[in-house]
Chains A and B, each alone.
Chain A
């Protein structure tokens, strides 16, 4: 037996330290969790009911590797209706097992060993490791609170080298809640054309935009051919556990992604596909959910400011990202103490990249009652420690 059972590229992954904190958080009795990354709504009943009916009728088989044609047609219609970009259902759309799979496929389809992939931080935790798995080199651009955590075109451009192959865009953003305006996006598009790049745009929080409308990156002039648009059903339709997403883009790239997909996944689960069709047919619950999130968002931002945390106003997703710098604590230490002393779960910003240090992610995908209770407890925590010198161990 060789002594090294686990491959080096896996061993090199960090994250074991924070695991311990998460394990305690998962099990803490009586804790209020603002650490959730999914809607607190159960999937709307009409969607669940349609899925149950499909099972009764015997829809239990594989589907086309691409996903069911009817679903692809509906996805195509939806993107066209929402964003005025047309994708052919045959060849330009691939149904995947969540955006997570689509993201992995996109990287593996694009990246040669040594290619650089630029991503902005703080951002979702998968981007960097997936780039490494695809033998690419992740290059991080820090976004800052003074820019409202927007990816600025000029800062992106600074990171581009002759090896840069693609840029990952993730707005509305997890964990910051930041959004980009059409103008912000157009400036990024100029850089993309100038340097002949491709873009992987994760827009899974697109529907959850509270001021103005979400602009789909591929709807910008000339961007459809250069963009792999990723989206799914998890956030907008409260369908996280169904694991269903899609990728839309240039035929050659989507075909390449499909080749990988057919060997590793074969197809997305048919039950989830049947449910997704119902979701697209009757999307009238989306607006109700969005207006409820919007009320909670305001409640939480104001509440955080009242207890003395400075908090930029997030305009998308369901996260706030307040600064805890004035406590003098690291974000991990803050989260640990808050959990042990007041039983509130928040996520340390450092989990989402070095530039997330000094911040915590607080989700408002929880009830108004829980938001109020959590803020009360956090207020007590801050009150108790205010003005005190923090000792680092």
Chain B
């Protein structure tokens, strides 16, 4: 079922700020608070809203995690195609995202670990040896400029005056 109308409006607001109060949402979309509560819990029940998370800038938080994007080339299995190996890779907690992509490689896998060595070992020991994996290329991430539509560095602020008529 496609999300539209008030549901869509509420999703847009939550996507921007998941901690906003129901009361404020109610004001913005012209519903009462109970209706907002009910709409949100329906969206949760239907799995439209998967969960609420904070977007953390690891550099600011002093988190020394290392991330790498792994290009994975596969030979597809006869009956299940790429799905079974992709699901297998997805189960590792070190793996943050798995996507099937077009082009030279088949999967794009984001892996996170405490150190470069740990990430490299993980790829070498857990991903590369899988039967369908033909080869892998590891790209360590050096700096994040933008994530999920949010620019990490100093936000662009207008330089406008306090009073203009």
Contacts and interface: CB of A to CB of B under 8 A. Distances in A.
A351 B162 contact: no
Interface stretch (B24-32, B67-75, B123-131): B24-32
Contact of A22 (B27, B30, B158, B163): B163
B13 interface: yes
B158 A35 contact: no
B161 A26 contact: yes
B18 to A, nearest CB: 13
A265 interface: no
A280 interface: no
Contact of A347 (B157, B161, B163): B163
Interface in A261-304: 291, 295-296, 298-299, 302-303
A298 B163 contact: no
B165 A124 contact: yes
Nearest to B23: A302
Interface in B5-34: 9, 12-13, 17, 20, 24, 27-30
B162 A31 contact: yes
Contacts of A352: 165
A38 B13 contact: no
A40 interface: yes
Given A42-B156, A368-B17, A26 B27 contact: no
Contacts of A124: 165
Interface residues of B, number: 19
Nearest to A45: B156
Nearest to B12: A291
Chain B contact residues: helix, strand, loop or mixed: loop
B146 to A, nearest CB: 12
A352 B165 CA distance: 9
B164 interface: yes
A216 interface: no
A220 interface: no
A342 to B, nearest CB: 14
A191 interface: no
Contact of B27 (A35, A298, A345): A298
A33 interface: yes
A347 B165 contact: yes
B91 interface: no
A37 B165 contact: yes
A232 to B, nearest CB: 15
Interface in B102-124: none
Contacts of A38: 158, 160, 164
A78 to B, nearest CB: 25
A28 interface: yes
Contact of B28 (A174, A299, A347): A299
Contacts of B24: 299, 368, 372
B28 A345 contact: no
A44 to B, nearest CB: 11
Interface string A13-44: 00000000010011010010101111111100
Contacts of A240: 160
B28 A295 contact: yes
A125 interface: yes
Contacts of A125: 165
Nearest to A346: B163
A372 B12 CA distance: 19
A42 B158 contact: yes
5 contacts: A22-B163, A42-B156, A295-B28, A298-B29, A302-B27
Interface of A: 22, 25-26, 28, 31, 33, 35-42, 124-125, 174, 240, 291, 295-296, 298-299, 302-303, 345, 347, 351-352, 368, 372
Given A36-B164, A345-B162, 17 more contacts: A31-B162, A33-B162, A36-B162, A37-B163, A37-B165, A38-B164, A40-B160, A41-B158, A125-B165, A240-B160, A295-B9, A295-B29, A298-B27, A298-B29, A298-B30, A299-B28, A351-B165
